[in-house]
Chains A and B, each alone.
Chain A
Amino acid sequence: MSRLRIVGGTVHDPANGVDGEIRDVCIENGRIVADVPDGTPTLDARGMIVMPGGVDIHSHVASSACNHARRLLVEEHSANPAAAPALEPGTSPPRSGTGGTLPSTFTTGYRYAGLGYTTVFDAAVAPITARHTHAEFDDTPIVDGGFYILLGNDEYLLRQVDAGERDRARDYAAWMIEAAGGYAIKIVNPGGVQAWKSGQRNLTGIDEALGSSRVTPRAILETLADAANTLRLPHPVHIHCNNLGQAGNVATTLATMDALSGRRAHFTHLQFHCYGSGPEGKTGWSSAARQVIERVNADSEISVDVGQVMFGAATTLSADGPAQYLLQASSGRKWTNIDVELETGCGIIPYRYEERAAVSALQWAVGLELFLLSADPWRVVLSTDSPNGGSFEAYPALIQLLMDRTVRDEQLKRVNQRLLAGSALADGLAREYSLNEIAIVTRAGPARLLGLRHKGHLGVGADADVTVYTREADLARMFSLPRYVIKSGVLVVEEGQLRRAPAGRRLRLAPGHDDAVVPDLRRFYDEYGTVSFDNFPVRGLRDAPLEQG
């Protein structure tokens, strides 16, 4: 029986109303318990900060698209060799790898854990490639992993939308989550990717029809939001709106929120969807963060993650093929496009955000405005849409920007000011996040939004995923180098060094569906698919689906 007592740390456990109280945290067999017997091994956390392990609600870490991107990033990997960590002898064999914006899998697991993150969701998996994602997660140690399945441009789904068959669409979504071993429904540029593949190029308004059909972004959004909610999925539909990255896209973003009014919905990498146009009558860019976050603040059914841009290297990697086409046309960088049969698209472009570039600076400011103007941290989650806005390894620097106005204002002075006039950040935002708020936006909030009852808190029965930080004035450094990280009760980071790398668990669902959908689906696959219908579902996964309820 493995037990541990973390002694005397200053605990931030906002899900249980604990804000900086000095108390012990007790662990037994991978779970938090109320107490442990005398003589249990202890970890001295006096003077240190104790939080639950981090939960990343939106990242790109384990997918076929990630691997196509890795293949493209040969220069970045060559410049970032990552030696194997000095793990405790007798544990799993330590693995070398490469870093950069999309590290190799073992290095990804080590680095997430090294930041105190213990749960990660890949936000965009084409179901036909789900086997690949599971195999990558098998090679991504320590973190518990799950993924969202791409359904917003799925041919069978769109057929049901066109026919008004919303119940069948719901059963299809449920079937597909189970078949893929996924966790939630993802929509990327609803209908727009299908338009890209069919020569229509894109859909730019939520009532624009796909070809001559009755399919519109609005109909797709409503159908899938309702599906997630009636299936009682723990996480609502996860939405990447139309018109990502385009000047003036705020209108689309607000229209999408209005369309789903009254329904639970998560809007992802919101920063990329909060741009206004130029001054009256002119083309150009401006921040529309205030408009959007005020809408979010006022609607308790909406949650978001920010998708902050951090200056430096990034890799844009998205199922949004048309958005990526536009980016390659404007940036002239190398570009991969992959049309994925019956399901989605994929575009990849290595990218770099520069302080001196006006649009980069605007994007950086928009993200910070969303954070700093948000009224409810439980619904505004920290993310960089890693690696799209920057790597997850930039989270500590982002936390510092949120907690330390001096650092933020210094950087604000350095960046290109051309598009910042009139923005809330340029006008001065004094807010500084507290440690408790950081614990909410990096752990407690995302765990709650994901419906992970055993994650993101330190109450009795929670998974024993715990991060212990040494207090430092340099907050970026403090959050980069946790003193201890415990995953499922195993001490993985000890005195700042990665020492153990146990396998993580897979977080997946089997929501249940009406079998009446299956014969029709089988006919469709037999007619138009290239993988036998019976071979489609992923089988033999190690971890059982989570129980819903």
Chain B
Amino acid sequence: MPGTGQGGASPPSEIGHVTCLGCGCACDDIVLTIAGGRIAAAERACPLGLAWFGDGRVPDRIQVDGKPADLEHALDRASTLLGQARGSILVVLGAELTVSAYQAAFALADALGAVTDSVVSEPAAAGMLAGQRRGRATATLGEIRNRADLIVYWGVDPDRRYPRYRSRYADAPHALHLADGHPRTVVSVSVGADTGPSDADVTLVLTPAQELAALAELRAGLLGRHLGGDALPSGVAELAGRLTQAKYVAIVHDGEPTAERRTPERAEALIGLAQALNTPTRAALSTLRAGGNRNGAEAVSTWQTGFPFAVDFSRGAPRYQPHRRPGTSEGPVPSAVLLVGAPESLPDPLRSSIQGVPTVVIGPRASAAPFPADVTIDTGVAGIHEAGIAYRMDDIPLALQAPLPGLRSADLLVRDLLSRLTPSSRAAR
């Protein structure tokens, strides 16, 4: 099996319109220069994008019990470990996969009666649960770009972890529905250590303890009411006025872990404010998500099972277990683990809970897993070595190319495992 970086004397080539999964912005305007089987340049990529693509080389090893093995032996061993496990099998999905690979992985989890989880972090999960309780008022990024005349960065400066969010989306020039020379108003709300952009037109500074009260006050302000209570900065009332006077408000917040601890109430309050703003004016809540194909994993999980993450197939049909996630004290104790994805993405609590449990890792850099694994099979990365589909943070599905094809595909490996495990695995369980 040839890996990437096999060299060759072919002249450098350019590949345009490549989608970068360095963060959830999923910019699809990257131009890669390929030379000698490596990525030599990634034009337009931000620092996160440059790190995502690197030179495109990833390890290309297959190991069983820490020793080199051939693919057939590794897949055979993996299917034996998973097929013979008694008790909970845990299937964990990383973020570096194509939609097609997630489709296969859920098929495998279903056949195994496994408990699944993805690398969705706790704050993102809280946001999703709040959205399931209340609904949402949101927009795709292009809508924000073309309409929003007031952008409120709530406890986030996108430049740090979503470097092109502002220039490509929220603050991009040439907005279809904003007159040229009619600049947007940018509001920076800092909450404790979660600071907003420093170049905003309006700045509001809150302590974490004031945050929920401020959100409640803003919502009350839409109804012309004043809640009073804890002393809030005067900027809160001023912001309430700006919100209702704008034509289209975008409230931008970070869905991923940040410096300050996030509560479910905060997620609900942000959703509630964005929804309520749609009576006096129009508004959307934009949730920033990290890199890879996170929204793709959640989309596939939702259409195949009805739930976006934390799906338990052990009783023969999907059950939603967001409060009994693996790695927590309430979660199941696995008897075998299959991680499809990069091993470094496995959350710490999960790592410690699978010690001594038979473990199979199929994904990019599997062989470099920082925890013991019985079988590791290195694969390529979605959008670098594997073509397909990935989702932007706003659930827009984008085309992925394979600028460096030729590595083993996680998708095909999981389908191979599935064919080895069905239908006998279901009958045996």
Contacts and interface: CB of A to CB of B under 8 A. Distances in A.
Given A138-B103, A531-B28, A97 B302 contact: no
Contacts of B137: 335-337
Contact of B135 (A97, A100, A335, A532): A335
A463 B1 CA distance: 43
A421 interface: no
A128 B140 CA distance: 10
Contacts of B146: 341-342, 528
Interface stretch (B2-10, B205-213, B326-334, B391-399): B391-399
A538 B275 CA distance: 33
Contact of B389 (A90, A106, A131, A329): A131
A71 interface: yes
Contacts of A64: 395, 397
Chain A interface size, as a band, is: 35 or more
Given A83-B317, A98-B306, A104-B318, A339 B143 contact: yes
B177 A530 contact: no
A77 B143 contact: no
Nearest to A105: B303
A78 B397 contact: no
A532 B308 contact: no
B141 A341 contact: yes
Interface string B138-167: 111111011100000000000000000000
Interface in A195-222: 196-199
B107 interface: yes
Given A98-B317, A131-B397, A529-B142, A335 B275 contact: yes
Given A71-B132, A96-B316, A535-B28, A198 B302 contact: no
Given A93-B107, A339-B143, A534-B17, A155 B176 contact: yes
Contact of B110 (A96, A135, A340): A96
B304 A105 contact: yes
A476 interface: no
Contacts of B362: none
A47 to B, nearest CB: 35
B303 A528 contact: no
B315 to A, nearest CB: 7
B284 to A, nearest CB: 6
Given A341-B146, A535-B399, A199 B103 contact: no
Interface string B106-147: 010011000000000000000010011111111111110111
Contact of B307 (A74, A199, A341): A74
B396 to A, nearest CB: 6
Interface in A326-375: 329, 334-342, 348-349
Contacts of B423: 89-90, 93-94
Contact of A336 (B28, B135, B307): B135
A136 B282 CA distance: 31
A517 interface: no
A38 interface: no
A337 B278 contact: yes
A339 B138 CA distance: 7
A128 B175 CA distance: 18
A341 B46 CA distance: 24
B133 A530 contact: no
A104 B138 CA distance: 23
A325 interface: yes
A329 B279 CA distance: 9
Contacts of A106: 304
Chain B interface size, as a band, is: 35 or more
A93 B320 contact: no
Given A95-B107, A139-B103, A531 B398 contact: yes
Contact of B17 (A128, A132, A532): A532
A170 B277 CA distance: 37
A73 interface: yes
A405 interface: no
Contact of B136 (A155, A337, A340, A528): A337
A65 to B, nearest CB: 10
Nearest to A526: B174
Interface in A132-148: 132, 135-136, 138-139
B306 A104 contact: yes
Nearest to A539: B399
Interface in B216-254: 247-248
B316 A77 contact: no
Interface string A94-138: 111110100111100000000000000000000011011001101
Interface in A375-432: none
B177 A198 contact: yes
Contacts of B52: none
A445 to B, nearest CB: 30
Interface string B349-371: 00000000000000000000000
B66 to A, nearest CB: 32
Contacts of B135: 72, 334-337, 348-349
B99 interface: yes
Most chain B C-beta atoms within 10 Å of own C-beta, residue among A67, A70, A530: A530
A531 B306 contact: no
Interface string B269-287: 0000001001101101000
A338 B320 contact: no
A84 interface: yes
A527 interface: yes
A82 interface: yes
Contacts of A97: 304-306, 317-318
A338 B141 CA distance: 11
A55 to B, nearest CB: 23
B110 A129 contact: no
A442 to B, nearest CB: 26
Contacts of B134: 334
B190 interface: no
B192 interface: no
A68 interface: yes
B306 A339 contact: no
B422 interface: yes
Contacts of B313: 96
Contact of A78 (B284, B320, B422): B320
Nearest to A82: B317
Contacts of A105: 303-304
Interface in B11-44: 16-17, 19, 28-29
A90 to B, nearest CB: 8
Contacts of B281: 199
A185 B319 CA distance: 38
Interface string A521-549: 00000011111101100110000000000
Nearest to B275: A335
A135 B174 CA distance: 33
A67 B307 CA distance: 10
B138 A338 contact: yes
Given A337-B278, A342-B146, A81 B302 contact: no
A95 B110 contact: yes
A72 B107 CA distance: 23
Contact of A139 (B282, B304, B426): B304
Given A96-B110, A129-B396, A84 B316 contact: yes
B255 to A, nearest CB: 14
B299 interface: yes
A194 B172 CA distance: 21
A128 B396 contact: yes
Contact of A103 (B29, B110, B132, B306): B306
Given A94-B426, A336-B138, 9 more contacts: A96-B316, A96-B317, A97-B317, A104-B318, A132-B299, A139-B103, A197-B248, A199-B247, A339-B147
17 contacts: A77-B305, A95-B107, A96-B305, A104-B303, A129-B395, A131-B398, A131-B399, A135-B99, A135-B300, A197-B248, A325-B278, A337-B135, A337-B136, A530-B145, A530-B396, A531-B28, A531-B142
A-B pairs, top 10 by smallest CB distance, nearest first, are A341-B142, A77-B306, A81-B317, A98-B306, A339-B139, A530-B142, A131-B397, A336-B135, A334-B135, A96-B317
